[in-house]
């Protein structure tokens, strides 16, 4: 079976380096916020092209802390894409804010910038853009709207480390961004991790304090904060992996280009991309109206596939208050999408096998 994602194979490339940094952390005696944490935050900020990166415990925390730091809460509305992973929406509702769903563009599956303005009210405070599946959102119109209505732009960059929009990386495209280093992401730790990036020194200091029990200096608490830290050891592993991120993303682009050129099946809709560098192919998502059968056929032919995601946030039990909402494009996408293997360690012969199998369906 060609696995959907072989994490062991991805990480065993760093076997020697991981053992070396593990040893250094072990003997340093500094297991939280030591030199590796500082180094990774600095390197990740440089990578994204921003002034500040703050390591936190996971991607959901990164987004929750950003919204808290802006002071958004009950009575405030935040625009979110309807087509996303539920964490985007949880970060909003966890702060007591109301998520306002916007349908995607059917070509990119990303939030449709032309449908945002009609959702803006006097209560709207921010727009969350999600660079879903690894593709950077077109920011031009969204930036105009944010300026016109005085809204913050928060990026959910959990799936798009290293993607560009017009020469700038995700993490630097809005006012602030949340990243996840969950093991399966393009930059993944050996456990949980996340980061906040921003160019705003005030927001950075506030997020830093909130993530540290609301403390600005030791034992003085100015906010009702949380405890959200990126472990020293995870930061050390991530620092090793950051060095390969651009070449890993390029391998994903090459596989994607090969798939898009060679998969020829009228029952399969391939993903489209406007600009190669805008996508880092966290997922290669195809669509078919015959998903259950295609999944079984792929599995019978030794290809593991997964669904991202089977149920949209507004149809989840957790958001029963939205159960009468109709978001037809989002619902159609959730019914038809299927993700096939893509990763920096997928071999050429595996890619060829996947193409052959899909073309013979
Ligand atoms: C993974 C993910 C998150 C959450 O990240 P965690 O580190 O798992 O908390 C948020 N948004 C999107 C789009 C994601 O894919």
- Say how many domains are in the chain: 2
Look up the CATH number of the domain holding residue 168. 3.40.640.10
Query: Would residue 2 count as lying in a domain?
Result: no
If asked whether residues 271 and 226 sit together in one domain, one would say no
The model's pLDDT over 201-233, given as tens digits with 9 standing for 90+, comes to: 999 999 999 999 999 888 899 999 999 999 999
Residue 50 CB less than 6 A away from ligand 1:
no
Out of 188, 221, 242, pick the residue that ends a domain: 242
| CATH number of the domain residue 293 falls in | 3.90.1150.10
Q: Domain check: are 218 and 263 in the same one?
A: no
Q: Which residues contact 321 (CB under 8 A, 6 or more apart)?
A: none
* pLDDT per position as a tens digit, 317-342: 999 999 999 999 999 999 999 999 99
Examine the domain organization and report whether 214 and 282 are in the same domain. no
Residues 219 and 333 in one domain: no
Is residue 5 over pLDDT 90? yes
pLDDT tier at 274, thresholds 50, 70, 90: confident
| 156 and 290 inside one domain | no
Whether 20 maps to a domain, the answer reads yes
Q: Give the domain extent around 298.
A: 245-359
Contact 128, 79 (CB under 8 A): yes
**Domain end among 242, 263, 278:** 242
Nearest-atom number in ligand 1 for the CA of 130 is 13
**Does the C-beta of 159 come closer than 6 Å to ligand 1?**
yes
- What is residue 1's predicted lDDT score, i.e. its pLDDT? 96
With a 6 Å cutoff on the Cβ, whether 135 touches ligand 1 is no
The per-residue pLDDT for 109 is 97
Residues 226 and 263 in one domain: no
**Same domain (yes/no): 112, 59:** yes
Same domain, 52 and 89: yes
DSSP string covering 38-62, please?
Answer: HHHHHHHHHHHT-SEEEEES-HHHH
Same domain for 261 and 161?
no
Co-location of 227 and 267 in the same domain: no
Q: Single out the residue in 242, 270, 293 at which a domain terminates.
A: 242
Instruction: Check pLDDT > 90 for residue 92.
Output: yes
List 178's β-bridge partners, or say none: 156, 196
Ligand 1 close to Cβ of residue 170 (< 6 A): no
For 127, counting Cβ atoms within 10 Å of its Cβ (0-12 exposed, 13-18 middle, 19+ buried), the class is buried
Q: Is 278 in the pocket of ligand 1 (CB under 6 A)?
A: no
67 is a domain residue? yes
Claim to verify: residue 262 and residue 339 sit in the same structural domain: yes
pLDDT tens digits, 291-306: 999 999 999 999 999 9
According to DSSP, residue 120 is labeled -
Let me know whether 102 and 194 are in one domain. Answer: yes
Please tell me the predicted confidence (pLDDT) of residue 9.
98
Pocket test for ligand 1, best of 90, 154, 155, 156 (most atoms within 8 A of CB): 156
Average pLDDT of the residues of the chain = 98
Residue 156 maps to a domain: yes
């Amino acid at each position: 079976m060609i696995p959907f994602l072989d994490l062991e194979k991805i990480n065993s490339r760093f076997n020697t380096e991981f053992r070396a940094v593990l040893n250094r952390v072990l003997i340093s005696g500094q297991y939280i916020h030591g030199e590796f944490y500082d180094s990774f935050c600095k390197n990740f900020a440089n990578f994204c092209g921003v002034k500040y990166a703050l390591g936190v415990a996971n991607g959901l925390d990164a987004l929750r802390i950003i919204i808290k730091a802006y002071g958004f809460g009950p009575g405030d509305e935040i625009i979110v894409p309807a087509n996303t992973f539920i964490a985007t929406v949880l970060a909003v509702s966890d702060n007591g804010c109301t998520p306002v769903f916007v349908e995607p563009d059917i070509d990119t599956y990303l939030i449709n910038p032309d449908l945002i303005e009609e959702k803006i009210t006097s209560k709207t405070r921010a727009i969350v853009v999600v660079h879903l599946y690894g593709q950077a959102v077109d920011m031009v119109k969204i930036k105009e709207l944010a300026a016109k209505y005085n809204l913050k732009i928060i990026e959910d960059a959990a799936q798009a480390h290293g993607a560009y929009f017009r020469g700038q990386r995700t993490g630097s495209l809005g006012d602030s961004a949340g990243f996840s280093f969950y093991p399966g992401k393009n930059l993944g730790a050996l456990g949980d991790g996340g980061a906040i990036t921003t160019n705003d020194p005030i927001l950075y200091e506030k997020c830093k304090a909130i993530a540290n029990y609301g403390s600005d200096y030791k034992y003085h608490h100015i906010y009702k904060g949380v405890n959200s830290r990126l472990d020293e050891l995870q930061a050390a592993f991530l620092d090793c992996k950051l060095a390969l991120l651009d070449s890993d993303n390029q391998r994903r682009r090459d596989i994607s280009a090969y798939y898009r050129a060679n998969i020829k099946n009228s029952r399969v809709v391939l993903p489209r991309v406007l600009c190669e560098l805008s996508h880092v192919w966290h997922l290669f998502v195809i669509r078919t109206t015959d998903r259950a059968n295609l999944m079984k056929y792929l599995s019978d032919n030794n290809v593991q596939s997964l669904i991202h995601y089977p149920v949209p946030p507004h149809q989840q039990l957790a958001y029963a208050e939205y159960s009468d909402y109709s978001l037809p494009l989002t619902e159609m996408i959730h019914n038809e999408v299927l993700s096939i293997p893509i990763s920096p360690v997928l071999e050429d012969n595996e890619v060829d096998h996947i193409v052959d199998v899909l073309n013979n369906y």
